[in-house]
Amino acid sequence: MKREMNTLGKAAIATVLAACSLGAPPSLASGSTPPPSVQEQQKNPYAVLNAAAARDPITVTPLRGGVYLLQGSGGNIGVLPSKDGAFMVDAGIAAASGSRAPRQRLENALQKLGASRIRYLVNTHYHWDHTDGNIWVHEHGATIVATPNTLRNLSKSIRVVEWAHTFTPVPAAARPTVLVASEKTFTVHGEQVRLRNYSPAHTDGDLSAYFTRANVLFTGDTFWNDLYPFIDHEAGGGIDGMIRAANQNIAMVDDSTIVVPGHGPVGRRADLVEYRNMLVAIRHRVADLKARGLTVEQTIAAKPTQPFDAKWGQGIIGPDLFTKLVYGGV
């Protein structure tokens, strides 16, 4: 097993496991038949998100301090309208299943908010469900902001095996031109928006956006509320980094902070803590099974996520795929 994470020692892991009422990891019955492959059990997340974006309306939710949440076009989107041009967090899916409807619906929603002109667009990471709209948002005046690694990832081909999809370089106009290597603060309509670069977590280029006066934090895909998260190993992600990012998110908020995940409903600090505890517990169980010499198929058959599946395993990423993703990082 890999050396334990710096952020959580053995004593802390034991505390989390006890809090989650978990005993020893499950054993694989002798002679059990390996389950069907993850690909057979799991719908392709790339196809699922595209289909949802093609059919779903855009819902607009006011959060606090003039900040809005837009949902229905891939990942969650944040907008702070301003007469000088809006500040936008992620751009969603522009076109899906051959339809331009996602872009049109999102543009209509922005116009109703008085945000037809965009001043800044932040990419929390490179995945298409957060960046596919980059080019048209740039046409609305936006300067695109991201980490150096997100720029690199948008500028090359990356094959994501679990999605059976290869992302190719985006056009030059869709690439970030302002890069955040560590931390950067923007002021928009009297609101300070602080951007912080995570260490590798969901990908190697994750970025948070914290609206300080409104006390609203956008975490990108370092946090999936009520959902198992995807972890992009091809772009430098890993379960240990996800746990570190979860701890960073917890440290950034207080009990009144509105926390906007990359996917799922808005949450609070308690939701971040529950999410972190889930990640730690599953990592420990999968790592223990792998250390015993079990293959990934045998580990999946042992169902190490079972205590959490009713809450977290009913969405885009199923229990088997999440187990596989964790297994690859321990």
* Tens digits of residue pLDDT in 70-122: 999 999 999 999 999 999 999 999 987 677 889 999 999 999 999 989 999 99
pLDDT tens digits, the chain, 330 residues: what are they? Answer: 444 444 455 555 555 555 455 555 555 544 444 444 444 468 999 999 999 999 999 999 999 999 999 999 999 999 999 999 999 999 999 987 677 889 999 999 999 999 989 999 999 999 999 999 999 999 999 999 999 999 999 999 999 999 999 999 999 999 999 999 999 999 998 999 999 999 999 999 999 999 999 999 999 999 999 999 999 999 999 999 999 999 999 999 999 999 999 999 999 999 999 999 999 999 999 999 999 999 999 999 999 999 999 999 999 999 999 999 999 999
Nearest-10 Cα torsion for 296, 128, 242, 156: 80
pLDDT score of 170: 97
pLDDT score of 2: 42
pLDDT score of 60: 98
> What is the sign of the dihedral through the CA atoms of 77, 155, 163 and 132?
positive
Cα gap 264→175, rounded to integer Å: 26
Residue 192 tokens, joined: 């300070």
User: How wide is the angle at C-alpha 59 spanned by C-alphas 54 and 65, nearest 5°?
Assistant: 140
pLDDT score of 101: 87
Contact yes or no for 248/276 (Cβ under 8 A): no
pLDDT score of 23: 54
Contact yes or no for 175/144 (Cβ under 8 A): yes
Classify residue 16 as exposed, middle or buried by CB count within 10 Å of its CB (0-12, 13-18, 19+): buried
pLDDT score of 11: 54
Q: Minimal CA–CA distance to 129: which of 64, 70, 41, 198?
A: 70
State percent of the chain over pLDDT 70.
87
